């Protein structure tokens, strides 16, 4: 029997096989495991930004309605177990160990039959389905890993398909135009299954509309059929009213910060309302309670005051644009100390062009990933920007040193912002909590 540590070593060891999009291997692996993904009521969520927050809100609303709900997300922030949750609780270590043993045996069988080996994400997805099957769920909120069409999660036929904001990311796998990326995301749309989409750029929306017509799917568009109005906001959260095709909600509250979270909240509400297609009615009280109780750590999360400390997992140009807007909105006139670490396979020059102009000082560091951009390279990229005023730049190899430096140079009335990669944010969050 594997220990928890051995199980994680085995799972992470599968990353040597890289990222290979396609459904053949996950399908064969699941067959050998007894097809645990079948027979679960699923809400399937794809998109570029906002997937995690939207999943967290759908999960919270369904739990507030009294259902037993599984939540599958990626990547994790602090511990691997976060990726597989039931009713807000992480999968226990011993269940990871026990189920990884079964997956490992199935992989040996795949190799013996000449079927090849699955990727790390396929292994984790199979592990998740096995655990969720044992848990007798009412619903599973299932986040797509990358893209949609060839993502390992796309072996399911859901009750509702949800598409959050589509923008540029993972172009090497998904395509170089918004239409191509949207086409990949729309791969989760299944014949006759209701679709909910967040607001989109026109070229992405056209692809979603065309796919829904071809697949004969009812389509709910947030902004068109679901409208909201911001009533109040601050560092404690936001209050808004929401009008959907089915209900009017006054004074809804969320703890999540940023204008984009209103899009995500509206998308989450439209998604649970779409369950009425199957005669499942989610009450107004469940929507109110679920939104209020929804948490999604590491996204515009306040981790300290005097100085204000903000962490955010933005890791592509559009996500960084949202972060920049939030800094200007929530901390006007404050001196901004930006601690940044980025992965080298991201469009980091565009990210830097967006965020560096709002920073008065920058601490360049390295996220906890083999794909990290070296801090010295990051410094060089910042210096290459054509800026009116260049911020002070500090280079710190270790994240712990970067945190110390930020606090040393920050005054009580300043704001320290940690951003650039979820790998950075996860480590920072763990250290700040200590």
> 191-241: per-residue pLDDT in tens?
999 999 999 999 999 999 999 999 999 999 998 888 999 999 999 999 999
CA dihedral 236, 237, 238, 244 (to 10 degrees): -150
**Token digits of residue 191:** 């014949």
> 104-157: per-residue pLDDT in tens?
999 999 999 999 999 999 999 999 999 999 999 999 999 999 889 999 999 999
Task: Please check whether residue 265 is in contact with residue 56, taking contact to mean a CB–CB distance below 8 angstroms.
Answer: no
**CATH code assigned to 301-433:** 3.90.190.20
Helix (H), strand (E) at residue 7: helix 4-13
Confidence (pTM)? 0.94
* DSSP states of 307-366: TEEEE----SHHHHHHHHHHHHHHSTT--EEEEE--BTTS-HHHHHHHHGGG-SEEEE--
Can you tell me the distance from the alpha carbon of 282 to that of 334, in angstroms, rounded to the nearest whole number?
42
What was the pLDDT predicted at 174? 65
Residue 171: pLDDT band (50, 70, 90) is low
Mean pLDDT of the chain: 94
Domain boundaries, the chain: 4-293, 301-433
**Token digits of residue 185:** 């995301």
**Token digits of residue 190:** 């299944």
> 238-269: per-residue pLDDT in tens?
999 999 988 999 999 999 999 999 999 999 99
Q: Which of the following CATH numbers is that of domain 4-293: 3.40.50.970, 3.40.1190.10, 3.40.50.620, 3.30.200.20?
A: 3.40.1190.10
Task: Please check whether residue 410 is in contact with residue 307, taking contact to mean a CB–CB distance below 8 angstroms.
Answer: yes
Task: Please check whether residue 347 is in contact with residue 373, taking contact to mean a CB–CB distance below 8 angstroms.
Answer: no
4-293 and 301-433, same CATH topology: no
Mean pLDDT in residue range 30-53: 96
> 340-384: per-residue pLDDT in tens?
999 998 889 999 999 999 999 999 999 988 889 999 999 999 999
- β-pairing, 227-234 with 219-221? unpaired
Spatial CB neighbours of 28, under 8 Å, sequence gap ≥ 6: 110, 115
What was the pLDDT predicted at 431? 95
Residue 273 backbone class (left: φ over 0; alpha: ψ -120 to 50; beta: rest): alpha
Q: Where are the beta strands (DSSP E) in 125-262?
A: 139-143, 160-163, 195-197, 219-221, 227-234, 237-243, 248-254
Can you tell me the distance from the alpha carbon of 401 to that of 366, in angstroms, rounded to the nearest whole number?
11
């Amino acid at each position: 029997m594997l220990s928890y540590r051995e199980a994680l070593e085995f799972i992470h060891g599968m990353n040597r096989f890289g990222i290979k999009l396609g459904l053949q291997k996950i399908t064969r692996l699941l067959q050998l495991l007894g097809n645990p993904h079948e027979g679960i009521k699923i809400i399937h969520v794809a998109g570029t930004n906002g997937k995690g927050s939207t999943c967290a809100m759908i999960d919270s609303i369904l739990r507030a309605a009294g259902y037993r709900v599984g939540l599958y997300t990626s990547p994790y922030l602090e511990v691997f177990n976060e990726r597989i949750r039931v009713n807000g609780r992480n999968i226990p270590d011993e269940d990871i160990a026990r189920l990884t043993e079964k997956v490992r045996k199935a992989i040996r069988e795949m190799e013996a039959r000449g079927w090849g080996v699955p990727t790390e994400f396929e292994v984790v997805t199979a592990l998740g389905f096995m655990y969720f099957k044992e848990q007798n769920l009412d619903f599973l909120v299932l986040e797509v890993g990358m893209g949609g069409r060839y993502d390992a999660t796309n072996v399911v036929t859901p009750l509702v398909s949800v598409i959050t904001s589509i923008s540029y990311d993972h172009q090497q796998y998904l395509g170089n135009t918004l239409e191509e990326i949207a086409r990949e995301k729309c791969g989760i749309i299944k014949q006759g299954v209701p679709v909910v989409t967040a607001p989109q750029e026109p070229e992405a929306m056209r692809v979603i509309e065309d796919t829904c017509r071809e697949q004969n799917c009812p389509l709910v568009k947030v902004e068109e059929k679901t409208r909201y109005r911001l009533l109040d906001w601050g560092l404690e959260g936001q209050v808004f009213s929401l009008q959907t095709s089915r209900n009017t909600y006054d004074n809804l509250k969320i703890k999540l910060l940023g204008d984009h979270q209103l899009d995500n909240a509206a998308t989450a509400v439209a998604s649970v309302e779409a369950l009425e297609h199957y005669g499942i009615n989610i009450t107004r009280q469940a929507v109110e309670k679920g939104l209020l109780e929804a948490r999604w750590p590491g996204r515009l999360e306040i981790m300290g005051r005097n100085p204000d400390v903000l962490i955010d997992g933005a890791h592509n140009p559009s996500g960084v644009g949202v972060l920049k807007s939030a800094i200007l909105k929530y901390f006007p006139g404050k001196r901004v100390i930006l601690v940044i670490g980025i992965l080298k396979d991201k469009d980091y020059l565009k990210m830097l062009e967006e965020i560096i102009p709002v920073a008065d000082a920058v601490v360049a560091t390295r996220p906890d990933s083999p794909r990290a951009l070296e801090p010295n390279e990051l410094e060089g990229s910042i210096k290459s920007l054509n800026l009116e005023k260049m911020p002070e730049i500090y280079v710190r190899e270790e994240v712990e040193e970067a945190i110390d430096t930020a606090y040393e140079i920050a005054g009580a009335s300043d704001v320290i912002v940690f951003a650039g990669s979820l790998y950075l944010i996860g480590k920072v969050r763990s250290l700040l909590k200590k």
